[in-house]
Structure 1
Amino acid sequence: MITDKKVAFYTLGCKLNFSETSTIARNFVNEGFDRVDFDQKADVYVINTCSVTDNADKRFKTIVKSALKQNEEAFIIGVGCYAQLKPEELANVDGVDLVLGATEKFNVTSYINDLTKNDVGQVHSCEIEDADFYVGSYSIGDRTRAFLKVQDGCDYKCTYCTIPLARGISRSDTLENVLHNAKEISSKGIKEIVLTGVNIGDYGKGEFGNKKHEHTFYELVKALDDVEGIHRLRISSIEPNLLKDETINFVANSKTFVPHFHIPLQSGSDELLKKMKRRYLRKTYTDRVAAIKNIMPNACIGVDVIVGFPGETDELFLETYTYLNDLDISYLHVFTYSERPNTEAVLLDGIVPKKVRAKRSKMLRGLSVKKRRAFYETQLGNTLNVLFESENKEGYIYGFTENYVKVKSPWNPELVNTIHAIKLTKIDEDGIVRFDFVKESVTL
């Protein structure tokens, strides 16, 4: 066991990566390392990479340089999706000592000997077909909310996506272990758990190492709702074709699940959805939004959308823009299409110039600001519950209501990780909502 050594972590990408980084970090601590912040001097720096966009790949080199500025003799480790897809490319970055693939990353400490820097980065990366077993993860100690991984991998074949190549087939944690982890998180005093995975609506597939579903996502949701000590449960991104009426109806009447859904759309054009090989058309998406809003009119709905996909003409982009403008949703996550090796989309005709992609991205980001503002305006005067976060940002404390309205108040450390009833009063100049405390509020 290596002792009296410090380790720091940097995470790129999604909530799933954050949950896995936290689990890897606990393994280091169990092996005698002290965890420090990434901007501090450490003996080991672990960078958990993403490969959803080209920009995430490029950021890796910058992060490595940042680590070496803190300690030029530091042992640099790359893990995550980019490490699985392009291990040799990552290993050739100056200063990188070790690269671990999709399965190896959870045993990272077993690949470390004396922390002597390598002349060339060593690679330990499996064939992605071998990434067929499940490793549970959750984040804890980093935030007032925890990211709980319930599923990994994906069996979908979207033409733009590298995730199946980076994470393997769809597989799930056992229901028993998910409930165990949820109880462990709640025992630490964390008030909110966010369910995460690559395709969480596919939960239950591969639960015991086989392809069939032992449980459904709906059964998972029902079981978690009965776990004592959890104040809030939030569903992260879920595919529209897998978000069933039974789940929507259950969330509407749940003790702990909050009225917030993030549902990928990717395009408002049926023509492009077919080229993307998505498993739904626009009507399904419209129906899902309507089903949510019909039973939960104050629900927050977030949308993923891709701009600049091959074949996206001005007319098809405007079809997406108009559709989203008219749809009763709350905000957008806008992704600018970037060519990814070994995907079908790179072979498609109709390449959109990068300047056009950037212009369309800016238009949709502007629409997102408009949509969020409009949603916040519908919530003014409502009494909601806010969970306050732990950071002091320029003299203010921030938090989120159950339906994901962001609020701010003058810094008060006593509010950290507590839930209070508040009445929303006005939208500040920065787009954040101000509020009044409700006197009979019960503090949690």
Structure 2
Amino acid sequence: MSPSIVILLMFSSLMLLMLTGQRVFGVMGFVGVVCALFLWGNNWDTEMGFNAAIKLFNWYPMLTLPMFIFMGYMISESGVANDLYHALHVWTGGVRGGLAIGTMLLMVLISCMNGLSVAGMAIGCSVALPELVKRNYDKRMISGIIQSGSSLGILTPPSVVLVLYGMIARQPIEQLWLAGVVPGLLLAGLFLLYIIIRCWIQPELGPVLPASERNFTWREKIRVLSAGIIPLVLMVAVIGSFFFGFTSLVESSAVGALGALLVAFFRRRLTKKVFYNTLVQTLNASAMFMWIMMAALAFAAVFDGLGAVRAIEGVFLNDWGLSPWSVLLLMQLSFIILGIFLDDTAMLVIVAPLYIPLISKLGFSPVWFGVLYTITCQIAYLTPPFGYNLFLMRAMSPPEFTIKDIYISIVPFVLLMLLSMALIMLFPQIALWLPAQFAR
């Protein structure tokens, strides 16, 4: 049996077993180990899984994941976001859609502190959503803002998704984080512009707060701005210490976790319940990432042994005669389709063994491709039927937020993500300019 047929069988088996509802890591690990057994035998099937586990546990940068995850959940659980939202409430409540604008700004600030989407969803639904509903903001506007804004967490530093991509693609994490800054700001700017224009045209979607709720003195307005110092200090402590060489990546993640802990302590929010909930959520998320990566390493070992990259390269460039840009567009399309059914980590580890080596051979930057991949992950979070943010929004929103409302709400924001992806593909320097400045 030719390697190409085996590769096709592996992918089709993987997709078929996914439909059974089994966990991603179980399906991937099973297909990889079984294929190793039938291809090579001689105990390779058990050794591949064992070697994948040992390789993962010896992977020192993996220590960054639980640290960054802990930082995000501690910020979420300790109520720091409430202080931020109050500050934004004070400053933006007097304009059309002011609280919607404030909510999006909150999502941007939270993204700079956690590197995850789920933490942003939890904060948006628990802090911003009740306030927006109480003040008669449009349901679909609320849903779209919270879902799209929280997805920025995986693009802006300290993005956990970009850390995972850097580990698998063997790319410098600092370059990937820098590459995500301008695209992240571009997306946030497009989201804000959409909110402002839409609320200006249709004021009923985001009514201005009554004067009684925004009657603050300048002294009070200046005082509440102190809440914004926390994300700034944490961002500088985590990202700045790493970029300027004071700490390694693992050390900077520890600085972030310790910083979040100290913030909660000095604000007297570090209760036993907060600490326990943060640890449990950190353990759950870290274990999920590690199981998926371990299964992916076993799965990828079979691909490497079969020469899958050479086979795919031969099909795209020689048999089909596609140009490098056509191949890139097919890759992006496959990511978007896979994102309908899989989470971001599963998407990455399934196709990384094929796409990342091919990207370099096609003459594209792996750092630039990492940003494009991350935006497709953001789209995957918002696209039915299995978008994570859709499920979280339905679970954490009031009954009047119907599935139809939640699905329709994300359409304009997904279109803006596709627009940003097209701009970054047409103008790669949007992602590559900042890394180039620090590389000098």
Note whether the superposition's TM-score is higher than 0.5.
Answer: no
Q: TM tier, shorter chain?
A: under 0.3
More strand by share: 1
TM-score between both structures, scaled by the size of structure 2: 0.24
More helix by share: 2
